[in-house]
A and B are shown apart, each in its own frame.
Chain A
Amino acid sequence: MSALLSLADVEALPTPSFDWFGIAPPVILFATALVIILMVAYKHRLGLAPWLPLATTLVGIGIAAVYTVLSWGKVIDGGPYTTAGGLVDVDGMGIFFTAIVLICAAIGALVASDYLRRERLDQPEYFALMLCSASGMALMATAADLITVFLSLEILSIALYVLAAYRSSEEPSQEAGLKYFLLGSVASAIFLYGIALIYGAVGSTNLRIISDTPVDNVLYLAGISLLIVGFAFKIAAVPFHMWTPDVYQGAPTPVVAFMASGAKVAAFAAMTRTIVFAMNYTRSDWQPILWVLAVASMLVGAVSALTQSNVKRMLAYSSIGHAGFILIGLQLSTGDGVAATMVYLLAYAVMVLGTFGALTYLSGPGDRDTSFEDMKGLARRQPMMAALVAFFLFAQAGIPPSSGFMAKFGVFKAAADSESYALVIIGVLVAVIAAFAYLRVIVAMYFQDGDEDSTLGRVPLGLRVGVWAAAIFTLVMGVLPQFVLDLADRASVIL
């Protein structure tokens, strides 16, 4: 090769150094997706065992998890580093968020496999799309350049658009897919325009250079606000939440489980990096915006959740409310605030996976029975599943002993430490209002009479494993939170 180059009298192009070890998780997830696509290609010639796509997915996620753990050890010992020509940051926070994404992908795949069989959508493509999306999420958690943020955002979103419209012959799913696609693309375009303006103001899209270049002109501030609009859309914060209820209601339930947890975690990770860290010196400009977003999301989420007649729609508003609580932690822009945000996102992701996972089973053949009417008398028909759903809903309401309580407590404590008392008071009041929305489901399940006989079959194995894992995690994190708190503290320090 070098002889050839000297023949042509060309200097070798300097290539950026790649630390493949550091960017292993997203690469492995994507490679697994490619393997599954290859399986599809050779399906007719070689045949395909029905369990193979799920097994491959889980193995891929497992290998990525091993690399994540090894990478954590390396960062703890040797400190954080930047690789791929400054496009990717391997640091504690990125690894922590990558781990959450892997949990989302694993439980999402477990929950989805039986659903796909039940709805006769049994195609391996589902897992390939999910892994693609997960690789985008993992990359987004470690992005160190606005271009990496944008590209990973698109990798995760485009796969999710397809997943939302996965039941391509059903009107709700089509509509959810189209709405998510149109509004998501607009948000991406606005986000990209924000990047362009910041590039114009700073002269670079690299987050480190941006944080080292104190600019405070109109171009820069306009860029920040456009970026915040783009992020607010992805995390479903009010007033950019309009798509959420429709998409959550219409999309297949296992897709919602994955989307509500993973996409929100990734978007918050990138938001922490870009807004809170890289643009910290313009804090006084964006803090009020995030304050308003947080309060509006909490209020609208809680109040609208009360009036819904569909459980998936109610949970959509509840996830809008959760975005508000998480934004409290970000808005503080302190180390404690970021650590609290990370703990909240971990707790939130697992709770939501569990709730929607259980709902995947309860929605029944056709994925239709998700109204409050259908929940009536569930405790008698499905005592175990009803108990799990009740537990997850209590956790989401923030009732101890559950991770939800720890998460809310951490965010409020961080806010009180930075003397943002107004946020704490509003947050606590809203949490009480939000609890009523969850209680409505529990009342319907336990204290109202419905059909006596269940049309649902046995709980499938994969779904049972996924939902129970989520439940146990939620309980253990609520009872013994110290381990997770320590991890988050260390991760938010190693930057």
Chain B
Amino acid sequence: MSVDGSWYLIVAALLFSIGLVGLLIRRNTLVMFMCIELMLNAVNLTFVTFARMLDDVGGQVIVFFTMVVAAAEVVVGLGIIVSIFRRRETATADDLSVLKG
């Protein structure tokens, strides 16, 4: 049984939207962070699907680049979150309100 490529694209778009909405409504920085990863992986799925539909290996190569970037982002993001957590023992975005005009 083969599934039409566009279904994968729809799933990817759904995942991307879930990530974006989650980022906007959740307030825990770790969960927000996971939402970003979800968005990046949704893009990966899109790339792989297009690569298959176009019969072009380029899109699959891009996925590796994206994975590396996502990993680098995890390192930096967790570093920042941990340094904040050390100081205030909270991981909620709403508590970060020193800066305002």
Chain A interface (Cβ within 8 Å of chain B)? Answer: 147, 150-151, 154, 158, 161-162, 165, 168-169, 171-172, 174-179, 181-182, 185-186, 188-190, 192-193, 195-197, 199-200, 203-205, 245-246, 249-250, 304, 307-310, 313
Do B40 and A174 have beta carbons less than 8 Å apart? no
> How many cross-chain pairs have Cβ atoms below 8 Å apart between A and B?
122
Residue-by-residue, is B66-94 near A (CB-CB < 8 Å gives 1, otherwise 0)?
Answer: 10010011001101110110011000010
Which residues of the other chain, B, contact A308 by a CB distance below 8 angstroms?
101
Q: Name the distance in Å between A437's Cβ and chain B's nearest Cβ.
A: 13
Q: Name the distance in Å between A123's Cβ and chain B's nearest Cβ.
A: 15
Do A154 and B72 have beta carbons less than 8 Å apart? yes
B53, B58, B77: which contacts A181 (Cβ < 8 A)?
Answer: B77
Do B72 and A186 have beta carbons less than 8 Å apart? no
Answer whether A177 and B80 are a contact pair too, CB < 8 Å, given A182-B32, A182-B33, A186-B23: yes
User: Chain A residue with minimal CB distance to B35?
Assistant: A186
Do A246 and B99 have beta carbons less than 8 Å apart? yes
Q: Name the distance in Å between A133's Cβ and chain B's nearest Cβ.
A: 12
User: Chain B residue with minimal CB distance to A310?
Assistant: B101
Q: Name the distance in Å between A408's Cβ and chain B's nearest Cβ.
A: 25
Answer whether A186 and B46 are a contact pair too, CB < 8 Å, given A151-B65, A158-B76, A178-B96: no
CA distance A172 to B99 in the complex (A): 7
Which residues of the other chain, B, contact A195 by a CB distance below 8 angstroms?
62
Do A193 and B50 have beta carbons less than 8 Å apart? no
- Nearest 7 A-B pairs (CB), nearest first? A189-B39, A200-B50, A196-B46, A246-B99, A175-B96, A168-B83, A185-B36
CA distance A106 to B33 in the complex (A): 33
CA distance A116 to B99 in the complex (A): 22
Do A147 and B62 have beta carbons less than 8 Å apart? yes
User: Chain B residue with minimal CB distance to A201?
Assistant: B50
Q: Which of B26-77 contact A (CB under 8 A)?
A: 29, 32-33, 36, 39-40, 42-43, 46-47, 50, 53-54, 56, 58-59, 62, 65-66, 69, 72-73, 76-77
Chain B interface (Cβ within 8 Å of chain A)? Answer: 9, 16, 19-20, 23, 29, 32-33, 36, 39-40, 42-43, 46-47, 50, 53-54, 56, 58-59, 62, 65-66, 69, 72-73, 76-77, 79-81, 83-84, 87-88, 93, 96-101
CA distance A174 to B83 in the complex (A): 8
Which residues of the other chain, A, contact B87 by a CB distance below 8 angstroms?
169, 171, 174
Which residues of the other chain, A, contact B83 by a CB distance below 8 angstroms?
165, 168-169, 174
Q: Which of A150, A154, A179, A313 has the most CB of B within 10 A?
A: A154
Do B36 and A174 have beta carbons less than 8 Å apart? no
Which residues of the other chain, B, contact A200 by a CB distance below 8 angstroms?
9, 46, 50, 53-54
B39, B40, B93, B99: which contacts A250 (Cβ < 8 A)?
Answer: B99
A172, A179, A189, A310: which contacts B43 (Cβ < 8 A)?
Answer: A189
CA distance A188 to B76 in the complex (A): 15
Q: A172-B99, A189-B39 are in contact. List 14 more A-B contacts (CB 8 A).
A: A147-B65, A154-B73, A168-B83, A169-B83, A174-B84, A175-B84, A175-B99, A178-B29, A181-B77, A181-B80, A182-B29, A199-B50, A199-B58, A308-B101
CA distance A309 to B69 in the complex (A): 38
CA distance A181 to B93 in the complex (A): 12
Q: Name the distance in Å between A482's Cβ and chain B's nearest Cβ.
A: 40
CA distance A171 to B97 in the complex (A): 9
CA distance A168 to B83 in the complex (A): 7
Which residues of the other chain, A, contact B62 by a CB distance below 8 angstroms?
147, 195, 199, 205
24 pairs of residues in contact across A and B, judged by CB atoms under 8 Å: A147-B65, A151-B69, A158-B72, A158-B76, A161-B77, A165-B79, A165-B80, A171-B87, A171-B88, A174-B80, A175-B96, A179-B96, A182-B29, A182-B36, A185-B36, A186-B39, A189-B39, A193-B42, A196-B46, A196-B59, A199-B58, A200-B9, A204-B58, A304-B101
Which residues of the other chain, B, contact A199 by a CB distance below 8 angstroms?
47, 50, 58-59, 62
